[in-house]
Amino acid sequence: MSRVHKHIQQAGELVFIDSLSSFDDYNNPMFVISTSSAAGGLPLGVVVTSGESTSIINSAMTHLKYLFPTYSFYCKGSPGNIITDDSQAERSGLKKTWPSASLYLCVFHFLQTMWRWLVHSSNEIQSQHRQHLMQLIRNMVYAKTEYILNNKYKDLKQDLISKQYINFNEHVNTYWERRQEWAICYRDYTSTRGINTNNYAEAGVRILKDIVFQRIKAYNLVQIFEFITVTFEMYYERRLLSVAYNRMDRYISLHHKGLGAYQVNNTDITKHDRNSLLYLVKSNHSDREYIIDTENWTCTCSVGITGFPTGEPCKHQHAVASKYKLTSPHLIPFFNARGRYLHTVIALGEDRAGTQAFYESLKTSMAVTDSEMMSTNSTEICEPNAPISPNSDSEYDSAEDNLDTLINILQKDTNEGDELMQNVSQLCCSFVDDVCKRIKQMDTQYLHGLKKFFTVYLDSISGTEPELSATPKLSSLLHTYFKKIMK
């Protein structure tokens, strides 16, 4: 867990804290501190306490803070932002431990709490009015500015249905005094990277319950310690290695895969004249240029501008990282040797991770000596990854050339006529050429997958005359086959 503090930039920006109990006969609460990454949620620390009071939580977190390395939270010593549930004892204890951190409520749990209040029989809210009142609360939560938030609050007060329930207005007033904790507009200019829930912590709790403890209770605290330090660590070690070895499972979120990067033309990406850490990306729909800061990984587009600079992932960041082979905290390093090596270092440590040369393409010339490679790998503690030259991490060069060709053809806006037929023909040729070059590097499972695809294709055209250009069955296959795979 200490290596996550050292190498993951988000560890100093945003952490999630969630508690769980019933792991032993004494029902000792367990608090899990985690952060986000391209590999999913990664743990920063785990502490088991004897209770959930403010004093106990403060004492436990203080002792845990002393156990953290000197470079804790990416050399900041304290997290910048913390997202938790609405537990006053927990939040008070965390505020005493890290007074400089900003505490926010998980939006999902806040809305869930409000809905439970609305449906509770003792509050006597009529069923036909519950959804309307809930929508009024949602409008306040997702207001983009403080001005809009105040207007939405006035709308709620003046609403005819809301005026019928005095208890509802009193309940809303108690939370209105804490609006800085749950309203999205107050998270502008914070490094939340577009994350407003503690779903990463919830996923970590589920891993503990289902995989580590396998839904059984530990015999005592010693066994809990073993589960956390051995099984829990081993799970995340394998998870990080799966990213390093390009063997990702479905648990990896889609926005970390950079699937929207193909929409950005490589010719529209340029480096800034005066700052080597800034890049300019032209918009496809206007003359506007977006600025990508590769030091903090933020963008000025409509996605990244939501509370800029929150650093929410966008297609422009992914396109820049893919073109210049940069290591982004949002992007899975498919063709980035340095990024894959970094995930191995976090999983195994620098002593066992080997060298970055292991992740280089076999087709790349190995002119760099072992001593030079070792000096490249020995990065300083918490130093953000510097931009890498475009040719330093070239992975599967011929495959990437074909990908660029496919992307450029896809970006051509043609929907009918001979030009459409010409573009589709070029796509087919580039696709076949790309697959043929990748076959030599494929495992058996991928070859079987290709074989199955051709089996389905032959089945879709069976029973037809050779001169027929298309069949309804083939058309259905082309429109739905890959769509099902993406789901």
Give residue-wise pLDDT tens across range 284-313.
777 788 888 877 777 887 676 554 445 677
Least confident of 29-38, 67-76, 414-423: 414-423
- The mean per-residue pLDDT over the stretch 45-74 comes to 91
Cα–Cα distance between 185 and 180 in angstroms, integer?
8
Polymer length in residues for the chain = 487
Name which CATH class applies to 2-106+197-244. Answer: alpha beta
| Dihedral angle sign, alpha carbons of residues 238, 242, 247, 250 | positive
Instruction: Return the SS3 of 282.
Output: strand
Model confidence pLDDT, tens digit, residues 227-243: 888 888 988 898 888 88
Model confidence pLDDT, tens digit, residues 136-185: 999 999 998 899 999 999 999 999 999 999 999 999 999 999 999 999 98
Instruction: Tell me what pLDDT residue 148 has.
Output: 94
Higher pLDDT, 422 or 404: 422
- The mean per-residue pLDDT over the stretch 382-395 comes to 44
Instruction: Tell me what pLDDT residue 146 has.
Output: 92
Q: Please answer whether residues 25 and 32 qualify as being in contact, where contact means their C-beta atoms are separated by less than 8 angstroms.
A: no
Confidence of residue 4 (pLDDT cuts 50, 70, 90): very high
* Res 386 pLDDT > 50: no
Q: Where in the chain is the domain with CATH 3.30.420?
A: 2-106+197-244
Reduced DSSP (H G I as helix, E B as strand, rest coil) percent helix, strand, coil of the chain, to 5: 55, 10, 40
pTM for this predicted structure: 0.66
Instruction: Tell me what pLDDT residue 305 has.
Output: 58
Instruction: Tell me what pLDDT residue 457 has.
Output: 73
Confidence of residue 392 (pLDDT cuts 50, 70, 90): very low
Asked, as a colleague might, if the bond just before 313 is cis with ω within 30 of 0, I would say no
Residue written as tokens 């033309």?
Answer: 265
